[in-house]
Amino acid sequence: MAQKTNALINETSPYLLQHAYNPVNWLPWNDESLEKAKTENKMILVSIGYSACHWCHVMEHESFEDESVAKLMNQHFVCIKVDREEHPDVDQFFMEAVQLLSGRGGWPLNCFALPDGRPVWGGTYFRKAQWISVLQQLQELFQNQKGDLEEQAAKLIEGIRQNQFSARIKVNQTTTSAAFENAAITLKKQLDYEQGGTSGAPKFPMPDLLMLEFELSDQLKDITLQNHALLTVEKMARGGIYDQIGGGFARYSVDARWHVPHFEKMLYDNAQLIGLYTEAWRKTQNPFFKEIVEQTIDFCLRELHGPEGGFLSALDADSEKVEGKFYVWTSEEFNTVLAEDAPLLRKYFQIDQQALWEDGNNVLVRPEEDAVFASQNGLDLEAWMQKLAESRKKLFHYRKKRIRPAKDDKRLLSWNALMIKALARAAVVFDRPDWLQPANKAYDFIQQNMRTQEGAYYRSWKDGKAKIEGFLDDYAFLAQAMLQLYYATAEVRFALEAESILSFVFKSFYNESQQSFAYTSSKSRKLAVTTFENHDNVIPSSNAAMAQLLISLGLIFEKQDYLHIAEQMLHQQLNAMQQFPTAHSNWLQAFIRLEQQSIIVVKGPESLSSSLKLQQKISSLIPVLASSEEGIPVVDDKPNNDCTTFYLCERQGCRPATASMDLLLRELNILD
Alpha carbons 136 and 180: distance in angstroms, whole number: 52
656: left (phi over 0), alpha (psi -120 to 50) or beta: beta
Q: What is the pLDDT of residues 72-81, one digit of tens each?
A: 999 999 999 9
Q: Coil, strand or helix: which one is 653?
A: strand
Residues sharing a CB contact under 8 Å with residue 389, sequence separation 6 or more, in sequence order:
none
The C-alpha atoms of residue 622 and residue 599 are separated, in whole angstroms, by: 6
DSSP state of 141: H
Q: In this structure, which amino acid lies at residue 523?
A: K
Q: What is the per-residue burial (b if ≥16 Cβ within 10 Å, else e) of 301-326?
A: eebbbbeebbbbbbbbbbbeeebbbb
Check residue 174 and give its pLDDT. Answer: 62
Whole-number pLDDT of residue 70 = 95
Could you read off the pLDDT of 239-251 as tens digits, one per residue? Answer: 999 999 999 999 9
The CA radius of gyration of the chain, in Å to the nearest whole number, is 26
Kindly tell me if the per-residue pLDDT of 1 is higher than 50.
no
Contact 634, 625 (CB under 8 A): yes
* Per-residue model confidence as pLDDT tens digits over 96-128: 999 998 888 889 999 999 999 999 999 999 999
Does the structure show a pLDDT above 50 at 514?
yes
What confidence score (pLDDT) does residue 298 get? Answer: 98
For 478-508, give the secondary structure using H, E and C. HHHHHHHHHHHHCCHHHHHHHHHHHHHHHHH
> DSSP state, 537?
-
Higher pLDDT: 452 or 166? It is 452
Q: pTM here?
A: 0.92
pLDDT digits (tens, 9 = 90+) for 364-399: 999 999 999 999 999 999 999 999 999 999 999 999
| Average pLDDT score over residue span 259-288 | 97
In DSSP terms, 401 is beta-bridged to none
Give domain limits for the chain.
Answer: 7-164, 176-320+408-596, 327-401, 599-667
Between 169 and 657, whose confidence is greater?
Answer: 657
CATH for 7-164 (3.30.70.980, 3.40.30.10, 3.30.1490.20, 3.20.20.370): 3.40.30.10
pLDDT value of residue 513: 87
Q: Which amino acid is at 231?
A: L
Residue 516 to residue 333: CA distance in whole angstroms:
56
Asked if pLDDT for residue 172 goes beyond 60, the answer is no
Q: Which CATH entry fits the domain spanning 176-320+408-596: 3.30.230.70, 1.50.10.10, 1.10.645.10, 3.20.20.60?
A: 1.50.10.10
**DSSP for 632-652, written as a single string:** -HHHHTSPP-SS-EEEEEETT
C-alpha closest to that of 96 among 87, 109, 108, 86: 109
- Whole-Å CA distances, 60 to 134, 135, 211, 471: 16, 15, 38, 28
Q: Which residues contact 143 (CB under 8 A, 6 or more apart)?
A: none
User: Residues for the chain: how many in total?
Assistant: 672
pLDDT at 169: 46
Could you give the CA distance from residue 429 to residue 499 in angstroms, rounded to a whole number?
Answer: 25
Buried b / exposed e over 146-160, threshold 16 CB at 10 Å, is eeebeebbeebbebb
Cis before 343? omega within 30:
no
How many angstroms separate the CA atoms of 171 and 165, rounded? 12
Q: Which helix (H) or strand (E) segment is 570 a member of? A: helix 560-572
Question: For the chain, what percent of residues have pLDDT higher than 70?
Answer: 98
